[in-house]
Amino acid sequence: MPELRRILLTGGNSGIGFEAAVLLCRAGHPLTLLCRDGTSAEEASHRVAEKAGSTTLPQSAICDLGDLESVRACAAALLAAGTVSDTLVLNAGLQYAGAKEPRRTPQGFELSVGVNHLGHLLLAQLLTPTLEAGRSPRLVVTASEVHDPTSAGGKVGRPAGLGDLSGLKAGEDAAMVDGSTPFNAEKAYKDSKLCNVLFAREYQRRMEARGQDLPVIAWSPGLVIPPISSGGFWRYSRQSNELGQRLFALAARSILRISERVETAGSLLAALATDDAYATPGFSYYSNRLLAPGRHRFEATAISAEAQNDALALQLWERSTALVGTEIGTEITLPDQDAHSGQIA
């Protein structure tokens, strides 16, 4: 029987994360679901256990990735509880396609980059001690093929591109990471996914320098369209362009057959978090590529030219770290104890 892994997962209350959580719970892995509020956390824990057919509830914790203070409070609670993680899965994400004006986090950052990139970067930095205390630690980051302007999804609309990162300077309230182009919700999402890949590469480099040459895996699930009524990824798009999203979902699923089933994507994420096949140290990127209508293949794939830029990865890390106000720390030591069930608030 494969060794059980202690797993922390963001975005486990809906979509890909929920389906992955069900499989992980069913397999018996000690699981902690990080959700944006207490209601979501409690409901997710019960729904996951129910669908998994498990009598053991996953642990849950409140972590609103759009609010850096919530991220700090979550990390502090987990560290105080002596939480150890063998796999940290940064999976949560949002997009508000069709919006004409930027939405902001409580700290004033554009919401897509604030949640998808800055919140996760801060969480990973603060929870690094939980990984360093784990067995064969591993980091998994859900990105997207749209980070690459040459991919099928990346070619649609304005391409991802971070420019000189001037929108991430302290004191700036730019709507876009490049600090100069007009706001575009679809590009903001693409940019946040490019940030995910660059962050993953730089995190792996820094951990290797600390003597922790762990696997850091960024991946693209393909075009996955959860039910719009499920909230999660769609919770802001629903408010700005629900009809357009429903028509797009119908065309992608039933007519063009270019989307992937959320259950299949969830199984891929669960495998990335636990399977020995993905235990090789270093950075890797996997993509669930569309080969033909209704046919996908999951395989290691090259990242975009911009995502391969080492200087840009370093600059993004430094700019982002300055904004969130932290860096990977070394001062915390954790007791050797297993994760427990219940909710941390």
> What span, in angstroms and rounded, lies between the C-alpha atoms of 76 and 205?
25
DSSP state of 276: G
Grouping H, G, I as helix, E, B as strand and the rest as coil, residue 328 is coil
The pLDDT value given to residue 140: 98
Burial (CB < 10 A; 0-12, 13-18, 19+), residue 205, is: middle
Strands 138-142 and 282-292: unpaired
Residue 124's alpha-carbon distances to 67, 74, 137, 228, 237, in angstroms, are: 15, 12, 13, 29, 27
Is residue 70 assigned to a domain?
A: no
Is residue 129 assigned to a domain?
A: yes
The pLDDT value given to residue 334: 39
- Domains held by the chain: number: 1
Candidates 11, 41, 45; CA nearest to 224 is: 11
Beta bridge partners, 110, equal: 104
- pTM metric for this prediction: 0.89
Q: Range of 324's domain?
A: 90-134+144-333
What is the domain-level CATH number for residue 259?
Answer: 3.40.50.720
Residue with tokens 């990335």: 272
Is residue 5 assigned to a domain?
A: no
Is residue 61 assigned to a domain?
A: no
Is residue 179 assigned to a domain?
A: yes
Higher pLDDT: 153 or 258? It is: 153
At residue 234, does pLDDT exceed 80? no
Is residue 211 assigned to a domain?
A: yes
At residue 252, does pLDDT exceed 80? no
At residue 339, does pLDDT exceed 50? no
Instruction: List pLDDT tens digits, range 60-102.
Output: 999 999 999 999 999 999 999 999 999 999 999 999 988 999 9
- Going through 63-147 in order, the beta strands assigned E by DSSP cover 87-90, 138-142
Instruction: List pLDDT tens digits, range 162-206.
Output: 999 999 986 678 999 999 999 999 999 999 999 999 999 999 999
Beta bridge partners, 285, equal: 218
